[in-house]
Amino acid sequence: MSGLVENLKSDGAVIPVTLGNKPTEAQRVLGAIEAHHAEMAQRLSVLASSMAKGATPEEHSSLAKEFSSYLRTDILPHARAEETSVYLRAQKVGLAQVVETMLFEHRYLGAKIDEFETLTGSEQAALSLVISEVFSTHAQKENLFILPQVLSSVPDEEVGEILSEIQREFTKAKGDTITSTVDLRPLEPRARHDVVFSKIQSLEGGGAVTVINDHNPKPLFYQIDALWPGAYSCTINQVDERTFTMEIVKVG
């Protein structure tokens, strides 16, 4: 953990904040969120470790499905809930740079989940360990650097509302379509097209996936059209010099 502290200090961000004599309600809320983080990290770790220990093909397939399902139905909605609750509050108390880093980690985690679903066997098991470790470290950063400062910044009567806010946003996020956008930027170039192919092949007629990339995705469009002639329509937009989006729609 000391390395994590040094990294944040060197970036000019914040050092850990303790609640000190803050009322018991703040300690309760912090404890509840920390416990939830620990529960999620533990489940990911157990599943990833089980895959990495050489499970049979049948066992591996079952573990991989459970791992992927948990990431999409719990971890990603939790991340979205944080973005629309805790992170917004954190930006208002001088943690904008830290929040920017945490948002990047959310995008990175989402991209790695997409990549995980394109792999099999030992490669998939190895990536599951990476995903588990990324989430665990990310949650520790929130516990140390964001949550205490946010909880210390609000009036006593609003402390409990933060937990309720997270729970409401989590419920809302679980009902959203989590897989509609694929951010390719954190992925290695060799893995990008396979991630997109996996996504678009699961689309029903009229369904769409929006791809975010750091260069013009025309080559991807040409490859899709060559593999599935006329099956998909693509619209490319340039957001800025290094950001492009491409909406891929299943025809029919």
CATH number for the domain harbouring residue 200: 3.30.110.40
Q: Summarize pLDDT for 185-236 with one digit per residue, the tens.
A: 888 888 888 888 888 887 777 778 889 899 999 999 999 999 999 999 999 9
Task: Indicate the helix (H) or strand (E) that contains 232.
Answer: strand 232-240
- Measured between alpha carbons, how far is 106 from 195 in angstroms, rounded to an integer? 17
Q: How far apart are CA 164 and CA 86, in angstroms?
A: 11
Token reading at 243: 């950001």
CATH of the domain at 111: 1.20.120.520
Cα dist. 160→13, 28, 154 in Å?
A: 26, 9, 10
Claim to verify: residue 193 and residue 129 sit in the same structural domain = no
196 to each of 34, 99, 111, how far by Cα in Å? 34, 28, 11
141/164 same-domain check: yes
Domain match, 171 and 68 both: yes
In this predicted structure, what is the pLDDT of residue 175? 62
Each residue of 135-194: pLDDT tens digit? 999 999 999 999 999 988 887 777 878 888 888 888 877 765 444 778 888 888 888 888
Q: Which amino acid is present at 56? A: T
Same structural domain, 8 and 110: yes
Q: What is the mean pLDDT of residues 19-44?
A: 81
pLDDT at residue number 14: 44
Question: What distance separates the 2 farthest-apart alpha carbons in the chain?
Answer: 65
Q: What was the pLDDT predicted at 191? A: 82
Fill in the amino acid letter for 228.
W
Task: Examine the fold and report which residue of 144, 175, 206 is the final residue of a domain before the chain moves on.
Answer: 175
Pair 244, 120 in one domain: no
Q: 218 and 143, same structural domain? A: no
Look over the chain and give the mean of its residue pLDDT values, rounded to a whole number: 84
Which 3 state secondary structure label does DSSP give 230?
coil
One domain, residues 98 and 214:
no
- Same domain, yes or no, for 218 and 152? no
User: Same structural domain for residues 129 and 153?
Assistant: yes
What is residue 242's three-state secondary structure? Answer: coil
Task: Summarize the confidence of residues 19-47 as an average pLDDT.
Answer: 82
- Asked whether residue 18 falls in the same domain as residue 115, the answer is yes
How would you list the strands of the sheet with 208-213, edge to edge?
181-183, 208-213, 243-250, 232-240
For residue 18, the model assigns a pLDDT of 52
DSSP letter at 210 equals E
**Radius of gyration for the chain, computed over Cα atoms and rounded to the nearest angstrom:** 20
Q: Residue 17's pLDDT band (boundaries 50, 70, 90)?
A: very low
pLDDT tens for 36-83 read 999 999 999 999 999 999 789 999 999 999 999 899 888 988 998 898
Same domain, 95 and 170: yes
pLDDT at residue 252 is higher than 80: no
Indicate the pTM of the whole model: 0.66
Please give the residue range of the domain that contains residue 168. Answer: 2-175
Give residues with Cβ within 8 angstroms of 242, minimum separation 6. Answer: 214, 215
d(CA 197, CA 144): 39
Q: Look at residue 147 in the predicted model and tell me its pLDDT.
A: 92
More confident residue, 194 or 14: 194
- How many domains are contained in the chain? 2
pLDDT of residue 207: 79
Question: Do 128 and 22 fall into the same domain?
Answer: yes
